Amino acid sequence: MNLLEGKTALIFGLANNKSIAWGIAKAFHQNGATLGFSYGIPQLERRVMPLAGDLNVDFVEPCDVTKDEDIDDVFNKAEKRFGSIDILIHSVAFAKQDDLAGRFVNTSRDGFAMALDISAYSLVALAQRASGLMPAGGSMLTMTYYGSEKAIPHYNVMGVAKAALEASVRYLAMDLGPDGIRVNAISAGPIKTLAAAGIAGFRKMLRYTSERTPMRRNVDQDEIGNTALWLCSDLSSGITGEVVYVDAGYHILGMPEPPENWE
Ligand code: NAD
Ligand code: 0WE
């Protein structure tokens, strides 16, 4: 398919070949898009460069989304290289390890501010610059998780940040809609990525969901990529401000089916 022929996408949040952003990059590349990558910390360069090579991507720039100078730098370079862009992918999140390990009630002012800055405000900061490079309209997409809506053990301050992120999607969609720019989120089920590897008990969580989702399995990066393709192509031209669930149906359940070995 060539759903993104002639379109340019800037992707933030690529860390390695397990990243959700990589699933998205592959789906976009297979559909004819021109891509630009940005990564969060200098140490990731050696991981991201080979991936860029695989998809013939020659725009690869570092960008710490807490730094306005970094963001300005990437978008200035993107304007020089591409002129305009059509798609912005935001696949970035961070909270301090302590804040995910402990109790939410103990979240510090500092940790709260950091999680919301990196995981929620950064979408607004990127949207400000990206919208200026979308004279013909475009599509912005971010990644969220069900912990924004329901309290999930240890997701803690990230849940608060994702709630702010999802609200930001709606306000950005309202503001940018008149310019032909759509803004949406994918709420993904748990997937084993670098970010997830840092979470104690993540494997157990994957097993828990795989036994209870309506589809009795988890989702993968390629499934997020294919839904991202739909949300960033003209196939979804009437959709904005929406959160689309790619979670094998987990969020529709009021009470999950008990597993076989349930007492
Ligand atoms: P990942 O570790 O591959 O991606 C997270 C990215 O955030 C990394 O590339 C990291 O460098 C980047 N990042 C962190 N701080 C940054 C900063 N200051 N500046 C720039 N970049 C920074 O993990 P992932 O699971 O692919 O996560 C991508 C997105 O998907 C996140 O928003 C995450 O919350 C969301 N998500 C993940 C899951 C899951 O189970 N893996 C489920 C739902 C949503
Ligand atoms: O958004 C996330 C995780 C994002 C994340 C991961 C880390 C690990 C390393 C943010 N900050 C950090 N900081 C670190 O130091 N997910 C949706 C994956 C995830 O994380 C959970 C989950 C799920 C799902 C944490 C607790 C419970 C469920």
Q: Which two tokens stand for residue 6?
A: 């002639």
Pair 231, 244: CB distance under 8 Å: yes
CA 158 to ligand 1 center in whole angstroms: 11
Catalytic entry in 145, 146, 245, 250: 145
Any ligand 1 atom below 6 A from CB of 218: no
pLDDT score, position 1: 87
Long-range contacts of 39-44 (CB under 8 A, 24+ apart): 39/13, 39/14, 39/15, 39/63, 40/13, 40/15, 40/64, 40/65, 40/92, 44/14, 44/15, 44/16
State the Cα–Cα distance between residues 139 and 81, nearest whole angstrom. 19
State the Cα–Cα distance between residues 184 and 150, nearest whole angstrom. 20
- Tens place of pLDDT per residue across the chain (263 aa): 899 999 999 999 999 999 999 999 999 999 999 999 999 999 999 999 999 999 999 999 999 999 999 999 999 999 999 999 999 999 999 999 999 999 999 999 999 999 999 999 999 999 999 999 999 999 999 999 999 999 999 999 999 999 999 999 999 999 999 999 999 999 999 999 999 988 989 999 999 999 999 999 999 999 999 999 999 999 999 999 999 999 999 999 999 887 677 77
> How are strands ordered across the β-sheet holding 181-188?
60-62, 34-39, 8-12, 87-90, 138-144, 181-188, 243-246
Q: Could you identify the atom of ligand 2 that is nearest to the CA of residue 194?
A: 8
Q: Could you identify the atom of ligand 2 that is nearest to the CA of residue 152?
A: 27
How does DSSP classify residue 53?
H
Pair 256, 249: CB distance under 8 Å: no
Any ligand 1 atom below 6 A from CB of 126: no
State the Cα–Cα distance between residues 141 and 70, nearest whole angstrom. 20
Q: Write the residue with the smallest CA distance to atom 18 of ligand 2.
A: 196
CA 166 to ligand 2 center in whole angstroms: 17
Q: Write the residue with the smallest CA distance to atom 26 of ligand 2.
A: 155
Sign of CA dihedral 15, 90, 79, 52: positive
Any ligand 1 atom below 6 A from CB of 117: no
Q: Write the residue with the smallest CA distance to atom 16 of ligand 1.
A: 40
What Cα–Cα distance (Å) separates residue 132 from each residue in 65, 125, 231?
Answer: 18, 12, 20
CA 40 to ligand 2 center in whole angstroms: 16
Pair 90, 126: CB distance under 8 Å: yes
- Please, which residues have CB within 8 angstroms of residue 201's CB and are 6 or more apart in sequence? 154
Pair 118, 94: CB distance under 8 Å: yes
Any ligand 1 atom below 6 A from CB of 15: yes
Catalytic entry in 39, 146, 155, 245: 155
Any ligand 1 atom below 6 A from CB of 195: yes
pLDDT score, position 256: 83
Q: Which two tokens stand for residue 245?
A: 């669930």
Q: Which residues pair with 182 in a beta bridge?
A: 139
- Please, which residues have CB within 8 angstroms of residue 193's CB and are 6 or more apart in sequence? 15, 18, 19, 20, 221
> Which of 100, 157, 245, when mutated, tests ligand 2's pocket best, judged by the most ligand atoms within 8 Å of its CB?
100
Domains and CATH numbers, the chain: 8-249 (3.40.50.720)
CA-wise closest residue to 218 among 175, 188, 250, 248: 248
